[in-house]
Structure 1
Amino acid sequence: MYEVSDSATSVKRRVTLDDVAKVAHVATSTASRALNRPGRINAETEALVRQVATDLGYERPENFWLRTHSVTQKIGVTIVPEKYRLLAAIQEKLYLEHYLPVLYPAVTVQALRTIKQEFNNVDGLIIDNPQIPGRVRLEIPSTQPLVVTNCLIDEATCVVPDTEQGVALMLTHLRSLRHISITYFYAKDSWLDESVLQALRSGCEQTGLTLHAVGNVGDSLESGCRAVSSWRKHLDSAVVFCGALSAIGFMQELDRSLKVAVPDDVSVVAIGDAFTGHLLQTRTTTLEVPDRKIGVEAVRQLVSQIRHRSRCENRAKLVSMRLVNGDTTGFF
């Protein structure tokens, strides 16, 4: 026998599988098998779990969502204006799927609070907010259709660049030019920057390249200029920036203050938007973050969640990167 506590029956929030398992004194995995895969556990335990679920008012997440939400044909999007290529791709794909995008402010606390309050007015949500740390637990119910495009987290389907594949391309290119050492400049509060760092460490260790990593370098012309002093400590033959603007600022400062030539004296690679790398007469070699492909895939994944909620599962979708060869890398 089991006993349902007053607190369990008076809770107004949605009853979860964890709640059922706790009251039935079984593991959550056991409760899941009892409710979703009949015949996988002994009949007595299965009957107990089903009775507890009935008494607590448990219902499948997809059924709860359908019962408590009305279809609006609107999708919430939280994104910074600077990610215009990603935003354009999301909007275009949403229009093709007959959805209207609703933009939310891209500020951590305000965005999450607004999303939590307004989610009943949209059918799903796409988040690309660089101010949201990569491991933060999103303050919205995990049963809601959700896709995240700026980091990998356990609570949602994520569409992100395949940094391991992209970094491997970049290292192959630099090694073909006989480079033996790299300085990597990155910002520590970005999932992309940290993911690239991990891939660089692994790749350099495997290929015998020397890596010097310098954190807390934002993507701006000023940050790139300041990075010159850090680079001078090791004078590595190749420099990689997680950001196109900082790469440009670095090259401008090299020419202005040190008269160091790119790529004759040092090679420079930017990770980011290849279009920004064309702002100068000298085209920057860029490991391109495929924002348009990410935007299209994010919408595809979200629409699939909305239309097939019974098959929803959190997963990571990696989008291949490409190396756009410019004029800033050469033989060492």
Structure 2
Amino acid sequence: MYEVSDSAVAVKRRVTLDDVAKVAHVATSTASRALNRPGRINAETEALVHQVANDLGYERPEIFWRRTHVLTQKIGVTIRLQEYQMLAAIQDKMILDQYLPVLYPAVSTRVLQTVKREFNNVDGLIIDNPQIPGRIRLEIPNTEPLVVTNCLMDETTCVVPDTEQGVAVLLTHLSSLRHQSITYFYAKDRWLDRSVLQALRSGCERDGLVLHTVGNVGDSLESGHRAVSAWRKHLDSVAVFCGALSAIGFMEELDQSLRVSVPDDVSVVAIGDAFIGRLHQPRTTTLEVPYRKIGTEAVRQLVSQIRHRSRVEKRVKLVNMRLVNGGTTGFF
């Protein structure tokens, strides 16, 4: 015979599988099998879990949501304002689907607090590039509907650029120009930078190219200026930057301090926003992150979750990248 503690009875929030498992003294996975896959565990344990679930008032998440949630026609968006192309695409798609975007500060230390505080005030959330993806699921395991962009997070629908495909296109371009060595400058705290790094390593190994990496390089003109000293250690024929501003800063410093010519002496490639690369002369060759397509797809996935909660599927949606040829890559 089990005992229901006072604390379990007094729970005012929605009863979860964890609550049922704790009172029944079984693992959460066991409680899940008992309630969702009958016949998979011991009959006595299964009966116990069902009794505990009934006593505590447990409901499946989709049933609870439909019973208690009144649609607000609002979607919360946590995104840096610098990602203006993606934000514009999100707003355009929401308007078409008759939703109102509600913007929250994209400060990494506040994302979790924002999710906790605001989730019940909107119909769903889009979080761009969360710095603490694991903690969101750990501390708020039933946060749905939710779509994450430009970052991978377990058991969540994610919309990300296809970095493996994009890097393959980039390496094909560089190989056609007879380049044999690359220096990659990146920031270690972003999923995009790490994903590009992994794709570059495997691609360069496959194609017989030499790869040197320099981490902790932010996307700013000043970071690009400082990167010149690191590039001089190997004098690779290609410098790749995960960010358009750092690539531009690098080229400025090469010209002003070393009188090194781009692309005659070194080719430069940016990964990110191709529009920023167009502001530089010559225009920067850019492996473009498709922010507008990512934003549109994120809204599409979230609205589908909102409208079909009983059959929500967690998925990773890859969006192809494209190489925008500028005047900063040439023959070696």
- Quick check: TM above 0.5? yes
State the one-letter code of the partner of 2:136: R
Cα distance, 1:78–1:219 mapped onto 2, change above 3 Å:
same
> What SS class does the counterpart of residue 187 from structure 1 fall into?
coil
In 1, Cα distance between the equivalents of 2:199 and 2:331?
23
* Paired position in structure 2 for 1:242: 242
Cα distance, 1:186–1:136 mapped onto 2, change above 3 Å:
farther
In 1, Cα distance between the equivalents of 2:114 and 2:133?
20
Deviation at 1:203, TM superposition (A): 1.7
In 1, Cα distance between the equivalents of 2:271 and 2:104?
27
- What are the Cα deviations for residues 88-143 of structure 1, in whole angstroms up to 9, with x where unaligned? 0000000111101111112233343244223222111111156x245443554534
* Paired position in structure 2 for 1:271: 271
CA contact (8 A) 1:65 1:144 kept: no
TM-score by length of 1: 0.93
Cα distance, 1:136–1:196 mapped onto 2, change above 3 Å:
farther
In 2, Cα distance between the equivalents of 1:208 and 1:15?
56
In 2, Cα distance between the equivalents of 1:4 and 1:163?
51
* Paired position in structure 2 for 1:116: 116
* Paired position in structure 2 for 1:146: 146
CA contact (8 A) 2:129 2:151 kept: no
In 2, Cα distance between the equivalents of 1:95 and 1:19?
39
* Paired position in structure 2 for 1:137: 136
> What SS class does the counterpart of residue 109 from structure 1 fall into?
helix
State the one-letter code of the partner of 1:305: Q
5 Å matches for 1:308-319?
A: 308-319=308-319
RMSD: 2.0
CA contact (8 A) 2:150 2:192 kept: yes
> What SS class does the counterpart of residue 70 from structure 2 fall into?
coil
Cα distance, 1:136–1:188 mapped onto 2, change above 3 Å:
farther
CA contact (8 A) 1:108 1:129 kept: no
Cα distance, 1:134–1:120 mapped onto 2, change above 3 Å:
closer
5 Å matches for 1:7-18?
A: 7-18=7-18
CA contact (8 A) 1:166 1:321 kept: yes
Verify: 1:205 aligned to 2:224, yes or no.
Answer: no
Cα distance, 1:133–1:261 mapped onto 2, change above 3 Å:
farther
Cα distance, 1:134–1:240 mapped onto 2, change above 3 Å:
farther
**Unaligned 5+ residue runs, structure 1?**
none
Deviation at 1:80, TM superposition (A): 1.3
* Paired position in structure 2 for 1:54: 54
Aligned residues: 331
* Paired position in structure 1 for 2:307: 307
State the one-letter code of the partner of 2:205: E
Deviation at 1:180, TM superposition (A): 1.3
In 2, Cα distance between the equivalents of 1:278 and 1:87?
20
In 1, Cα distance between the equivalents of 2:143 and 2:81?
28
> What SS class does the counterpart of residue 245 from structure 1 fall into?
helix
* Paired position in structure 2 for 1:20: 20
TM-score by length of 2: 0.93
Cα distance, 1:273–1:246 mapped onto 2, change above 3 Å:
same
Cα distance, 1:219–1:129 mapped onto 2, change above 3 Å:
same
In 2, Cα distance between the equivalents of 1:25 and 1:311?
29
Cα distance, 1:322–1:134 mapped onto 2, change above 3 Å:
farther
In 2, Cα distance between the equivalents of 1:211 and 1:137?
35
> What SS class does the counterpart of residue 136 from structure 2 fall into?
coil
In 1, Cα distance between the equivalents of 2:18 and 2:162?
34
State the one-letter code of the partner of 1:137: I
* Paired position in structure 2 for 1:231: 231
- What are the Cα deviations for residues 234-284 of structure 1, in whole angstroms up to 9, with x where unaligned? 000111000011111111211121111111111111000111111123121
5 Å matches for 1:151-170?
A: 151-154=151-154, 156-170=156-170
Cα distance, 1:112–1:134 mapped onto 2, change above 3 Å:
closer
Between 1:33-42 and 1:101-110, the stretch displaced more is 33-42
Deviation at 1:311, TM superposition (A): 1.3
CA contact (8 A) 1:79 1:106 kept: yes
In 1, Cα distance between the equivalents of 2:91 and 2:191?
24
CA contact (8 A) 1:21 1:28 kept: yes
Between 1:163-172 and 1:287-296, the stretch displaced more is 163-172
* Paired position in structure 2 for 1:81: 81
> What SS class does the counterpart of residue 261 from structure 2 fall into?
coil
CA contact (8 A) 1:61 1:143 kept: no
- What are the Cα deviations for residues 173-200 of structure 1, in whole angstroms up to 9, with x where unaligned? 1122221111000111211111111211
Cα distance, 1:125–1:276 mapped onto 2, change above 3 Å:
same
* Paired position in structure 2 for 1:102: 102
Deviation at 1:316, TM superposition (A): 1.9
